[in-house]
Amino acid sequence: MKNENGYFGEFGGIYLPSYIEKILLNLAEEYEYVKKRKAFRDELKRLYRTYANRPSLLYFAERFSTEVGCKVYLKREDLNHTGAHKINNVIGQGLLAKHLGKKRIIAETGAGQHGVAAATIAAYLGIQCDVYMGERDICAQKPNVYRMKMLGARVVAVLQGQGTLKDAIDAALENYLRVVDKAYYMLGSAVGPHPYPIMVRDFQKVVGEEIAFQLRKTEGRMPTSIVACIGGGSNALGAFYRFIDKKDVELVAVEPAGKGRLSGRHGLVLGTGVRGEIHGYKSLVMKDKKGRIKKSYSAASGLDYPGVSPELSMLKRNGRLTLGEATDKEAVEAFVKLSRLEGVIPALESAHAVAYLLKNKKKYKENDIVVINLSGRGGQGRGKCL
Which residues here bind ligand PLP, judged by CB under 6 A?
84, 86, 111, 113-114, 189, 229-236, 302-303, 347, 349-350, 375-376
Nearer to ligand PLP, 135 or 349 (CB): 349
Give CA–CA dist 121/69, Å, rounded. 41
Amino acid identity, position 97: A
Nearest distance, CB of residue 85 and ligand PLP, angstroms: 6
Amino acid identity, position 118: A
Asked if 174 and 206 touch (Cβ cutoff 8 Å), the reply is no
Q: Is 255 a catalytic residue?
A: no
Out of 71, 86, 102, 359, the active site residue is 86
Give CA–CA dist 163/262, Å, rounded. 24
Out of 65, 71, 75, 108, the active site residue is 108
Nearest distance, CB of residue 221 and ligand PLP, angstroms: 26
Give CA–CA dist 57/83, Å, rounded. 13
Nearest distance, CB of residue 170 and ligand PLP, angstroms: 18
Give CA–CA dist 251/240, Å, rounded. 6
Nearer to ligand PLP, 65 or 80 (CB): 80
Q: Is 75 a catalytic residue?
A: no
Give CA–CA dist 254/154, Å, rounded. 33
Nearer to ligand PLP, 224 or 375 (CB): 375
Nearest distance, CB of residue 326 and ligand PLP, angstroms: 13
Count Cβ atoms below 10 Å from residue 143 Cβ, excluding itself. 12
234 three-state secondary structure? helix
The 3-class SS string of 260-300 reads CHHHCCCCCHHHHCEEEEECCEEEEECECCCCCECCCCCCC
Nearest distance, CB of residue 345 and ligand PLP, angstroms: 12
Nearer to ligand PLP, 189 or 313 (CB): 189
What are the C-alpha distances in Å from 101 to residues 45, 68, 78, 95, 207? 21, 50, 31, 10, 28
Q: Is 4 a catalytic residue?
A: no
Nearer to ligand PLP, 23 or 239 (CB): 239
Nearest distance, CB of residue 86 and ligand PLP, angstroms: 6
Question: Which of these, 72, 374, 49, 28, lies nearest to 197 by C-alpha position?
Answer: 28
Nearer to ligand PLP, 71 or 85 (CB): 85
Point out the residues that are catalytic.
86, 108, 375
